Structure 1
């Protein structure tokens, strides 16, 4: 397949600022809500089982929205899509001033997930258009650092907003943030043109079938019980119908470019899902154990986790002069070692050992953040960078949902030390699989043939 030459003007600060600002909206919303769940439950008289949907709603909206928004980036351009996503997020933030019910708020979180999904695929597409296949590592590092940093400060920011303005503020804050992104996009992101001809119909059937299959799988992961196995039927039916629909479509929804890039991309998505399954399970499961079995206060737990967050930000910011294969393999090995160590901690483990283990988790998270984005950037075909980036984020959210399922299975009797050890065993298996999948992937050592 021939790749058309595009004018490249480089990545300047004015271009990078709106892209980086936009990419913080989705990760900050994933953690911002955590401190507002209890007051929201009290306001509407519902328990944790209902307020948990506020977390799941964003996950569902983001996981379903990322690839669809990515298609819009490829079809209609990054700038247009980023403007549309900002307007949708702005509207959701303003509508939150009318809190009708808990279901209404879950719906708003779903919309916020879709609206904030525009930034990452759009940013990757803009970087590709203006710098080519080998973009500056600094630009990708900025995106990685922004995501890491805002996710770390999300709970603290949420606490300040709730204390000062009430729980509604964690929704309404999206309005001014979206206005900032919208203004910066209109000012500094260059106008773009569609990647395909305007008269080519959008593959609505493909989008619908993909969404049904993904939604069924996600619901089964969120509620793993024998009575919910029926969800496999619509998932299998939708997936089966998606194949002939994709073949007949003039511009198929799931077209990732030449077949030479599809295999490497699918392995990249699988690594992303496995990595975040382990990282999210450690973050949320380990924190519960620190609060209950270890007996630390919330403030003490937060301080103990600071090395994890700080190290993750630091290692995602450093442009190591190592190949992505070395960085990803090293990150997987470090993650495996830290998870194995988790299987031996108990209530008497010295705090310095826990701190050292947290540093290892932070190193792995930081290394994999930048390296994975670099691999995605190089593997994705220029004409499909939007949907490829969207599916990349979808894989991350699937990993997060899988982590919640694993934690629920291991901690069904509480966050005890034996439960933590059981969780560590499961995560060690997943980490070992991640090491093998990374170390044996020859595509990580070579450039795609289309380049």
Structure 2
């Protein structure tokens, strides 16, 4: 395992395997809880509207509050972990998530439930931001891809399990069980994290007291404005959405100006010009946009064009998360064996092929023509996610892992938010109808074909970005002293090339 600091010889020794497994169990449960919190509440919105005597527009804030808290605060949470110590902040995040789950479960009014969900989202932002950052401290470098794949698997399981588990809990115990189910899982996660995650390393005092408060506030407000612009209106885009989008653009410009002058910036903007980091973040956002497209467009096509009943639609839609759950760990092992950049490209090629097939095959082969391309897209996504996360995090200094991990998660969240809005609008325009839910089956089929052709174009764009990043990495490797790559390839060698290009071998 590559040391975090050359002045700490003990860090060169990989931790014992049982300790790694227990630490990974804590990180995996953190990812599972945060993804479960995202998906489990959606199924309960009709029940919650009835319980509180509220409209759909009012109860949708139960979902929006959680999403907004994560989107607005995830980068700041990662940076705060770098400054204050990742272990203590992760423990605080798990504790906050668990306590907020209790408050959600006992909330007597809708405003209190929404406030508790926002607090739960803050805890989830900390958990999501810091789990990937901990991989570099708990897992030997040769197993980084496998660990990233495992975290991706747990995220997919949480996303897939949410709707079905939520339905069972509502039917058996009522809506409060949607949130109280997190309590025992949260306490178990807290116990494992407290006992098995490595202690925070002490750093220079100056690094630990400087925090970019102005940048943090500006970024949070900017991201919140963007997320609201993309989610309010249930697919419509009115004056409020436009005003929020303008506010987000102005906030982004002001944030860039503040960061350029900050002594200890939240995000070092010059690092985003590096194709390996900036390219990895951009590709992640594009890929997540396409994955959300399958969730937005798929149900309409299956129900309206293929005529499937609701139960069968749910069964077909569960194929994607199931494939992601089964593919995550093997994908991570592939990144360890063949190199993260190479597997990133392979995953994107598979996704491009699957998206192209999804635009033409369902019309000819029905359900089978839909399921087969979705399997290819989802498997490619699992490969890409494990490899891209490994490649991006491999080159990050120890004192910036939290913020970069937060940025990776943010790029994924922004892709999901944008995909639901932008690709949903593309689908509606391509279907040439004001209400897709009542559109003619042939119009929906046309919308499906055009939307996934656009999705394939997005993946090709991500592929170009990934190839440019791989070329940049090779150029840097060739620019090193010729002995350095050979040193780094030896087992356990902590050479300079390993520090800079650990994800490229």
Please give the TM-score of this superposition, normalised by the length of structure 2.
0.81
The structure whose residues are more often helix, as a share, is 2
CA RMSD of aligned residues (A): 2.7
Distance 1:238-1:307 versus aligned 2 partners, 3 A rule: closer
Correspondence for 2:447 among 405, 408, 419: 419
Alpha-carbon displacement from aligned partner over 1:313-341 (angstroms, at most 9, x marks no partner): 23211112323233222222222222222
Correspondence for 1:358 among 335, 352, 374: 374
Distance 1:216-1:34 versus aligned 2 partners, 3 A rule: closer
Distance 1:73-1:421 versus aligned 2 partners, 3 A rule: same
2:95 is the alignment partner of 1:83? no
Distance in structure 1 (CA, Å) of the matches to 2:106 and 2:305: 40
Question: Per-residue deviation at 1:384?
Answer: 0.3
Distance 1:190-1:46 versus aligned 2 partners, 3 A rule: same
**Which sits farther off after the overlay, 384-393 or 103-112?**
103-112
Question: Per-residue deviation at 1:93?
Answer: 1.0
Please give the TM-score of this superposition, normalised by the length of structure 1.
0.90
Partner in structure 1 of residue 279 of structure 2: 267
8 Å contact from structure 2 (residues 362, 370) kept in 1: no
Distance in structure 1 (CA, Å) of the matches to 2:418 and 2:249: 19
Correspondence for 2:267 among 254, 270, 275: 254
Distance 1:266-1:103 versus aligned 2 partners, 3 A rule: farther
8 Å contact from structure 1 (residues 213, 235) kept in 2: yes
2:253 is the alignment partner of 1:240? yes
Partner in structure 1 of residue 394 of structure 2: 378
Alpha-carbon displacement from aligned partner over 1:330-375 (angstroms, at most 9, x marks no partner): 2222222222222235566333222212211221122122112211
Distance in structure 1 (CA, Å) of the matches to 2:203 and 2:384: 30
Partner in structure 1 of residue 157 of structure 2: 149
Distance 1:341-1:252 versus aligned 2 partners, 3 A rule: same
- Structure 1: gaps (5+ residues): none
Distance in structure 2 (CA, Å) of the matches to 1:333 and 1:190: 38
Correspondence for 2:231 among 211, 222, 228: 222
Alpha-carbon displacement from aligned partner over 1:224-266 (angstroms, at most 9, x marks no partner): 435533334433443333344334433222248x849854212
Distance 1:196-1:69 versus aligned 2 partners, 3 A rule: farther
Structure possessing the higher relative contact order (Cα contacts under 8 Å, 6 or more residues apart): 1
**Which sits farther off after the overlay, 163-172 or 380-389?**
163-172
Partner in structure 2 of residue 288 of structure 1: 300
Correspondence for 2:209 among 174, 190, 200: 200
Correspondence for 1:140 among 138, 148, 155: 148
8 Å contact from structure 1 (residues 27, 151) kept in 2: yes
Larger Rg computed on CA atoms:
2
8 Å contact from structure 1 (residues 36, 158) kept in 2: yes
Distance 1:228-1:312 versus aligned 2 partners, 3 A rule: closer
Q: Secondary structure at the match of 2:306?
A: coil
2:189 is the alignment partner of 1:181? yes
In the comparison of the two structures, how many residue pairs are matched?
449
8 Å contact from structure 1 (residues 310, 362) kept in 2: no
